Structure 1
């Protein structure tokens, strides 16, 4: 894949591998373009995608707030960005986490269970709590890379019961619904999904006396690791979302915001051929960059110092004692030698922060932020 010139220049100066390199300049421009495309739609960044403090600070001017999904994320984000608006979601919230959300002035809590409102009221100690009910709607989602079913949110019967419980619970104010149903969808599919969610949500909320309803349609915008130059069509998506002021609409993307602006950079330790297949063994491994194992793809990469034609095919692996430690299988590469540098792109989301860092106790990567 293409390596931007300013990233390539920085990568060549590194004296230690592995390293994560975050292109904050590119990230800021990308986030600004998303913000401009959305118009009045609220943009909250899903911190779970990458909570690196410098990533969060870079995004702050371009987003309306952040979504967090644990007490740890909540404390980290509030410390990093003391004044940012916060929404807190996720199943299985503990009492300690709910109490922390009260102390740290979370703006919206996404209720995932009919058992949560009573706990919220008790832990809020008389303070008002504004909530969105997370809906697990039975909507067909062809082509989704991941569907958020099972423990996430409530079906329509349970939503009704939960709304009735809230109506009887002083201090808990129903503001709207949250419906993040799937990930990996293109703009037309996301627009269709948003339309189905709002068509259901607005009359449902009106029937329960909710004025100025809020609808959060989540994230899940497609990121295609097989086509690293492709991008979700934010312009078409923003143009197609409701803009009539009858609903306060919010989205919560994560991966599609930061994925393109992170690089995992490492060097070749050995090259060998076994049973006719060539392997390039790289320093580090998928304990640092778990994304290709998790999603079952070849991680896009560039070889910064190579300008010659492809020399053949190889499988790029790490140092771990498992055959699953694979970045990319049977990919076209230049003539790799020990000491050559490989930069894996699209490593700005669900990469370092979801990886099993301490397996085999190899040294951790360094982190670099390009401004």
Structure 2
């Protein structure tokens, strides 16, 4: 599988330069920012009229990632007070919305004082709290009601956020009550609806049918409002999956956009549609690079014990897949002459669950070689349990220019020592 990946020369140069600067065996992330910008630009260019693209920064909220995407996308989607701070520090100010269950009053207050565009409300209780905060600030706050709609089973994916019992949104059967609650709140104004039904969606045609099911219900949802003419937005979330095992068989984003454009053009008073994409924007720019510390065979299975592990790159364990692995030998000639056999790639943790990939066919692997795990730009380091066993945190290297000799920026995550 990994033979289908080609690591760009400027990333190889950045890896080599970083390794020379490391005193210990290396474990680090490398992000190709020009590739990130190109992915964002291509996705934005494919959108039909009346459709917007927001970046869901939960996928990767590093400052360099946000700064690269902000000039390209229409806005940002946030889900915590910490993400508010990161978005507001962006070098290119963008509109942003606040989503997610369990919002703190302090976060909602801060969001209003810092100019949040809209809130996605998740419950009737949240409507009550939001009204009280908006009244205390003497503001009229736009909101979208997040809907948990009923869905046919054939539109499901591996990770369902709606169509079943979840903490997310308001059941479609209770939508009229939720709309009435917002309409009765003098400091809130309903501007639309939010539906994020599933994640890891890899079938473009299935996602087309999912969006069509929302648009079919849009007139009915909108008619529930006291002032339907003010209800103009339909936020369809994200959930576009990445094919980690077959990189050239990715989700057909242009096809989805073309189908959506035709559907909107045929509607009377279509909504302003907004996507909130995370993984499909940032995954392709990232590489996790680890050094082989030991090779061993246990009960007939070969193991490559590497610097790092799932405490730095939790994605394969979270996704339940064997991540593709690219071998960068220290001595290429020796590697070409070495044995080709299956290896299980593991990290340094004291648990058998610290597995990044199983049964990878690699040739001539030796201690000191590097292994590269591509497609590491989303939900990799930022969802990992980095403090487990108190290992050092990995460096993150942001490669800003594809030209040979360009200087990457490195962000270190070394643990701060206490002041004595």
1:202 touches 1:213 (CA, 8 Å); kept in 2? no
Alpha-carbon separation, structure 2, partners of 1:94 and 1:176: 22
Alpha-carbon separation, structure 1, partners of 2:325 and 2:41: 26
The answer on 1:192 being equivalent to 2:221 is no
Q: CA deviation at 1:256?
A: 0.8
C-alpha distance 316-251 of structure 1, shift in aligned 2 (>3 A): same
Residue in 1 aligned with 2:303?
A: 279
Alpha-carbon separation, structure 1, partners of 2:29 and 2:117: 33
Q: TM-score w.r.t. structure 2 length?
A: 0.85
Of the structure 1 ranges 143-152 and 91-100, higher mean CA displacement relative to structure 2 is found in 143-152
The answer on 1:30 being equivalent to 2:39 is yes
Specify every segment of 5 or more residues in structure 1 that has no aligned partner in the other structure, as ranges. Answer: none
Residue in 1 aligned with 2:170?
A: 154
Alpha-carbon separation, structure 2, partners of 1:65 and 1:356: 29
Of the structure 1 ranges 20-29 and 195-204, higher mean CA displacement relative to structure 2 is found in 195-204
Residue in 1 aligned with 2:412?
A: none
Residue in 2 aligned with 1:223?
A: 242
Does the residue aligned with 2:170 lie in a helix, a strand or coil? coil
Of the structure 1 ranges 318-327 and 159-168, higher mean CA displacement relative to structure 2 is found in 159-168
Larger Rg: 2
Does the residue aligned with 1:267 lie in a helix, a strand or coil? strand
Alpha-carbon separation, structure 2, partners of 1:193 and 1:260: 25
Q: CA deviation at 1:229?
A: 3.1
Specify every segment of 5 or more residues in structure 2 that has no aligned partner in the other structure, as ranges. Answer: 401-420
Q: CA deviation at 1:94?
A: 1.2
2:325 touches 2:360 (CA, 8 Å); kept in 1? no
Of the structure 1 ranges 312-321 and 224-233, higher mean CA displacement relative to structure 2 is found in 224-233
The answer on 1:288 being equivalent to 2:312 is yes
Map 1:44-83 → 2, pairs under 5 A: 44-81=54-91, 83=93
2:48 touches 2:260 (CA, 8 Å); kept in 1? no
2:233 touches 2:271 (CA, 8 Å); kept in 1? yes
Of the structure 1 ranges 75-84 and 172-181, higher mean CA displacement relative to structure 2 is found in 75-84
Residue in 1 aligned with 2:223?
A: 206
Does the residue aligned with 1:38 lie in a helix, a strand or coil? coil
Map 1:123-138 → 2, pairs under 5 A: 123-124=133-134, 125-138=137-150
Alpha-carbon separation, structure 2, partners of 1:328 and 1:207: 50
1:114 touches 1:158 (CA, 8 Å); kept in 2? no
The answer on 1:139 being equivalent to 2:157 is no
Residue in 2 aligned with 1:368?
A: 397
Deviations 1:194-252, CA, capped at 9 Å, x for gaps: 11012112322134232252101110112111212332211101111144362100011
Superposition RMSD in Å? 1.6
Q: CA deviation at 1:353?
A: 0.5
Alpha-carbon separation, structure 1, partners of 2:39 and 2:153: 27
Q: CA deviation at 1:277?
A: 0.9
Deviations 1:121-155, CA, capped at 9 Å, x for gaps: 21112201111100000112535020014110011
Q: TM-score w.r.t. structure 1 length?
A: 0.96
Alpha-carbon separation, structure 1, partners of 2:8 and 2:320: 26
Q: CA deviation at 1:82?
A: 6.2
1:270 touches 1:338 (CA, 8 Å); kept in 2? yes
Residue in 2 aligned with 1:92?
A: 102
Does the residue aligned with 2:214 lie in a helix, a strand or coil? helix
